[in-house]
Every structure is written in structure tokens, then in C-alpha cells.
Structure 1
């Protein structure tokens, strides 16, 4: 990709004067940080990116870089939306735990007792609870591709990443509140988004999102899929940008009862598990991956939708972290770039 994709004028007019602190307290200027990110974007062939950094519980850096649409020469701005992919899951987990604190759902009651599943053929699913869903220990596959599902493991026995389990839990929440997947986002806005001061943070497509959504790319080719974007999708359907998602993370780090639940490991990953090997994940909590970096314990989630990649990591003890969204497919290398800069 040509390095001229981002005019220098945009770089220096958008760059804030404030400095960013790394985990160890080292200071880096916003301009220097931006330049390093742009170099990484060029190397990783990323058309556009939204990135934010959190220091001491406050957003100290947020920026849109590159192109939201290459052909139209449409730049990424702070208001550009991206598909959050699996970064949807922690945002949904926070929602479920908030409702659990209000008595709407019991985290350890089998979901079957609330709402029987119609798409699972294995009777063992009747043991699945909300806690298992959020920690990925249901035994369900990630996606069923429409076929009736069989469990890959006994519920609660081992880590098994599953988007299908999250969808089932969303249906249960909707049922308990007399809603459907078409209307559940309204409850999310009431219980989470408005409480956190999030103006544009939706699990369904809205006209505003559609008009400002970054075009997805795979190897610089436009991508598209035919998902129903008007159904609440807790596993990968959130639309956001780095600034708004960083606000959510700041809000999360202030909500001590829920945060404590989300930080407590539920299941340790097997030593040879692919997610441990690729991303350094030791364990999973209710909604977050537990990752050690330079002798620190941190909480991470990444995600890939067709044409999009996203990632965040936070250290609640220091209220420190980052979040980024890109419109490049499978751009997982950017995670390591951010952590090499910030976890020093």
C-alpha cells in the first residue's frame, strides 16, 4: 500500500498536543505515537483505523487514520463506525451482569429453564448457564451454519469459544424482558449505553451507522456479507469506533462489582490451545481473556468480522489500556504493535 494514503496535513492537524504515558510511565508524544501507528498500518496493509488510548481512567488519545473508503477517498474520522466483531462480547457480558445484579437473570440457573433452545440437538445443553456462556465453557461450537448443534464437550468442563452460546443467551434475556432480538437493543441503550454516556453504541444497524460505516476490505478488495443487521447480535454485531468503545471501557473500570466479576478467571485454557498460542491467553473470565504481559495481568478481547479487525486490552489496576478498530480483515498483528508501544 502506498504511504501517501494519509496526507501529512491530516496527521498533524488531528494530532493532540497531550502526551501518552506507557504502562511504566514513559511518555510518548501523540505525534510520535501516530507516526508509529501509520507505519504499522502501511506494513500490515490497513486502509483505515480508529484508535484510542486510556491513561488513569481517562481517554488521552483518540484518532481516525487512513481511509474509510479507498475508492471514494473518504477518510476515517472520529465519528466513523466499524464493526466491532467479537468486541461485542464483553459489551454484552457487561449488560448481562448488570441485569443479573438487578435480579433479572440468575447466572447459575440453566438457561433451558428460562427458554428451551430450538436449535440444539444434544440434551446436555440443558445444563448450560449464563456463567458458562460468558466464560465460553458451554461445549457449543462457535457457529452451527444452520444445522442442529451437538456439544463438543460437557457443559462447564473446558474452554470452547462459542458465538452460538452468546446468541442463545441474548434470546433468553429478550424473552425474560418480553422483547425480541429486533427490539433488545433498546434495553441495552437504557441499561448500559445511556448510563455510560455512549451516544452511538448499537448492536443493530441504524441510519446514522449506515451512513458512516467504514467499508470492509480483505487484501484491499471490498467485502460484504448478507447478515441480518437488524437483529441484536451479541457475538459480533456491535457498531462502534475507538472513542466510544474507550468510553465503555472507562465506564467498565469504574463499575467495581461488575468489574470484579469480569476479572475473575473461570476457566484456564489448555496448554496447547490455539488461542493461548496465538494471543497469549492464560484463562477466560465472564467476558474477558486474561493475558500476562511483562509481569502484569491484563484483560483483552479481539475480534474479526469479514473485512474488519478489532482489539482492546486494559489493566484495571492502573486504569490503562487501548482499543482499535480497522477495516482490514484478520489484521491481528496490530495487537502486538500497540502492546509493544504501550506496555513498556
Structure 2
């Protein structure tokens, strides 16, 4: 049920100046007086003023904020949102600034880096090639592409398991490359094959035969998919995406071409880490299928609508109903072939998050209800903010069963949280910092990744963004001496320094 929120409006005078009057007098002209009557907020005003934290503390009233307050809390300078209802784009708006240094405002045409929201587009491009018989969903990919090193490919790798994160590849940290001064701002960035070989700042891509067939989120799998598509079509991925998706869907403010972004586009959001602008403004990626899309919220909404139409059999030019349903077919309880999927029937929705260096995002769309939304941000806590905004949109536009990453927890005193704080070293030499701030525990897994974790049992915490777990270990005196952390079912031990 929707909430009715009323705003009382005091009597005031509205001034308006026409161009002619301004030229003659430069004084404001009284237009009308507004009566002292309550007015009901519009749907979008209710969305903007009903933002709640994802984490609710048991026994405490959940606070409600406006969107600007949550942006400030998460240190996210800029946001762009688009809302879909009844199968149409019904609202789009930009908030905040593109850059804390320039202070230029975000508008609906500002391009954001969509990060892993690139993956659903890459999956659709692959399914389009299958539909045109250029590729087979289950034929081995090793007949198409060349090996780039040992343990990189086998005859079990195919399009289906690449797009469904079940091919056995891991998820290397793609940090991207900041543009540099000079004629070729991205001349230092490796090409796709260089990325696969580990010639840049990312680890080389290898396959783990033991994990093949099991679901494990894999940016590397989508980088291999990009290699497959480029080898098969003999076209660069950016060109392939432009021809098959962006131009047909009239996504005029979207591109995968990193060099065009570096040299041609001006209305760009810049990446921010903890509220400070990243060096170089943003990072470029050779791993286009995994992380390379630049887009606007309105443009990305066109993609969601196209998927919804194809799933209903109403847009075969984009994707046949059979292939659209393949995209949305679950391989486990929460993942499909290119998107995450939850529930079934009319409640079934598809969604995906994105995290690049200082750029984070999220989208959701219902297969059968014509509802959905996109939230793009330019801050490294934007993923959580995006989900908070999506939950407000879901409540206002009556989305059924939308409950991604909401959590109810017991509050732990800040004094106890501080006993977990410190530096921890893993057996492979990597380190992680744990700190307490304003009654919340944070883990720093790298320079730009500081994430809140919340109580999930005795001395146990969970990060709601990726469901990673952290269990702190004590000695016989009760002193914290180490921790175990898990991601995708694998546990790692670290010692407190």
C-alpha cells in the first residue's frame, strides 16, 4: 500500500520575470499568491524523500532520509535515475555533481560508467549471434578462439556457461587505467589479449577445472566471452555492440568505445573514492564486455524495456522470445544467463549491480509487469545508495517482492566493534584493514574498497553487497587474534598484526 505524504505549504509569493520584463526593469514581477492548503507530494517526490538504509536494527525505528542526505552519507557526489512503469520510461533525473572539483551538475544526458551492467548487454549480443546461427549455445568455444597461455581454456567452455558464470573462471579485480596526457590518453592500456595474459595491472585469466559447472561470479568469463565474439565476428566488441544493440535501441548516449570517451565526450561523470575525485577523472577498461559500458540511466532503461518486450514476444528484432527467456532462465536460485533473477511468475524480476573504480550502479526490471529502474552513481559507496533508492522506487511503484540485500541485525556497541579493528594479513601476503566508524564496522579490501559489514552471529559479520562473511577468532583470553573470510564458498585465514 502506498503511503500518503502531505506537505504543508506556507503562504508565499512567487516571482517570475519574463525576458522582455527583465530587459526593461530587471525587477521580479508578482505572479500569484499560493494558498495555505496541504498538497500531496508527487510520486517522484515521495521516492526522493523516503530513502531508508538497507540495514535495519532490531527494536529500533528505521530512519527515513531524502536522497541528498543519503548521497552525503555515502559520499556519492552524483546520481542519475530512470524509472520504468507500464513498459515505458516515466521519469529521469540527475542529482548532485559530475565532479567535486568542477561542481558541474549532473543532468539526464550525463554519461556514467555502468561497470558490470555491461554484462547483460554482452550476454544479449552473444544470444543474438546464437540466434543468427553464428554461434551455438553449447558448442565448445575452443574451436573459435586461440589459447593465450596454459590452463586458459578447455573443450567444456561454451557460450552458455560463459554468460551464466559457470565456466570455471575466477573474478580478477579489474581496476582500469586512468587516462594520461598526450595524443593517445590510453596508450598505456593493454588490449584484450594483453588483459587475458595479465600484461596490465590485472592477473592473467586461468580456468579452474574443479569449479567448472558450478556458479561463481566471473568478470574473467565475460572477458573470455568478448574474445569469443571478436574472433567469431572479426569485429571489435565496441563496434559489435554499436551495430547490434546501441544503434537499434537508439541508445544515442551510450558507448563501449573507451578512446571515444577519452577524446570526444564532455558530459561525463567522474569517479570518486570516499568523496574525493579519482586521479585522471575516471578509469578505462579493455575488458569491455565485463566493465566497459558508458551510458545514461535513460538509455539503459531502453535496454530493460527491450528485454521485457522480447520476453513477451513483442520485439523479435531485438531478441526472440525464446532467447529472451534463455537470458532469464535460472541456473541456480538467483542467477540467469547474463542477469541475476529472483522469484517466478508475475513476481519474477531480473537485476544486476556494477562496481568499477569509483563508479557503482544497479538496475532491476520485472519480466511481466513492465516495471523497473536504473540508478547510476559516481562514488565507491554508490552500490548501496543505488539499492536504497531502488527500494524507495519499489515501494512507491508497488513492485512485488523486491527485497534485495535488506538485512535486519542486532546492534553491536561501538566499543566492542573497536576490538575487531586492526590490520590482518592473509597467508598469501595480502592485507586487509578493519575499522570502526560511527557504530559501523568497515573492511578495506583494497585502496578503493572500504565496505561496511554488519553483525551476523557471534563475532561474525556479513557484507550485504556480495554476501562475503567475516568471522573473528579469539585466543583463550578473549583477545581478537585473527579472522576467517569467505567469498563464493571459499574460506581464507588471516592473522591480526
TM-score calculated relative to the size of structure 2: 0.56
Instruction: Give the deviation of 1:285 after TM superposition.
Output: 0.8
- Deviation readout 1:246-267 (Å, 9 max, x if unpaired): 111111211232321111102x
CA contact (8 A) 1:204 1:229 kept: no
Q: Find out whether 1:201 has 2:230 as its counterpart.
A: no
1:291 to 313, 329, 342: 342
Note closer, same or farther for the CA distance 1:122–1:230 as it changes in structure 2 (3 Å cut).
closer
SS at match of 1:83: strand
Q: Find out whether 1:72 has 2:102 as its counterpart.
A: yes
Note closer, same or farther for the CA distance 1:248–1:122 as it changes in structure 2 (3 Å cut).
same
CA contact (8 A) 2:100 2:276 kept: no
Note closer, same or farther for the CA distance 1:220–1:209 as it changes in structure 2 (3 Å cut).
farther
Note closer, same or farther for the CA distance 1:40–1:306 as it changes in structure 2 (3 Å cut).
same
Matches for 1:318-337 after TM superposition, within 5 Å: 318-337=369-388
Per the alignment, residue 119 of structure 2 pairs with 89
Instruction: Give the deviation of 1:83 after TM superposition.
Output: 0.7
Instruction: Give the deviation of 1:230 after TM superposition.
Output: 7.5
Per the alignment, residue 265 of structure 1 pairs with 330
Matches for 1:1-344 after TM superposition, within 5 Å: 29-35=43-49, 36-119=66-149, 121-122=150-151, 125-143=154-172, 145-147=202-204, 149-151=206-208, 153-156=210-213, 158-179=214-235, 183-205=236-258, 206-207=260-261, 210-224=265-279, 229=284, 231=286, 233-256=288-311, 257=321, 258-266=323-331, 268=332, 282-292=333-343, 296-344=347-395
SS at match of 1:60: strand
Instruction: Give the deviation of 1:82 after TM superposition.
Output: 0.8
Task: Name the structure with the higher helix share.
Answer: 1
Per the alignment, residue 5 of structure 1 pairs with none
SS at match of 1:63: strand
Note closer, same or farther for the CA distance 1:40–1:226 as it changes in structure 2 (3 Å cut).
closer
- Deviation readout 1:206-259 (Å, 9 max, x if unpaired): 257641221110111122479984846100000011011011111121123232
- Deviation readout 1:269-326 (Å, 9 max, x if unpaired): xxxxxxxxxxxxx321111112349x93321100100101100011111011111110
> Which has the greater radius of gyration?
2
Note closer, same or farther for the CA distance 1:287–1:231 as it changes in structure 2 (3 Å cut).
same
SS at match of 1:159: coil
CA contact (8 A) 2:84 2:372 kept: yes
CA contact (8 A) 2:85 2:372 kept: yes
Instruction: Give the deviation of 1:171 after TM superposition.
Output: 1.2
CA contact (8 A) 2:147 2:153 kept: no
Instruction: Give the deviation of 1:43 after TM superposition.
Output: 2.7
Bigger RCO (CA 8 Å, 6+ sep): 1
Task: Provide the C-alpha distance between the structure 2 equivalents of 1:101 and 1:93, rounded to a whole number of angstroms.
Answer: 12
- Deviation readout 1:156-181 (Å, 9 max, x if unpaired): 2x1111111111111111111122xx
Task: Provide the C-alpha distance between the structure 2 equivalents of 1:29 and 1:62, rounded to a whole number of angstroms.
Answer: 13
The unaligned stretches of length 5 or more in structure 1 are 1-26, 269-281
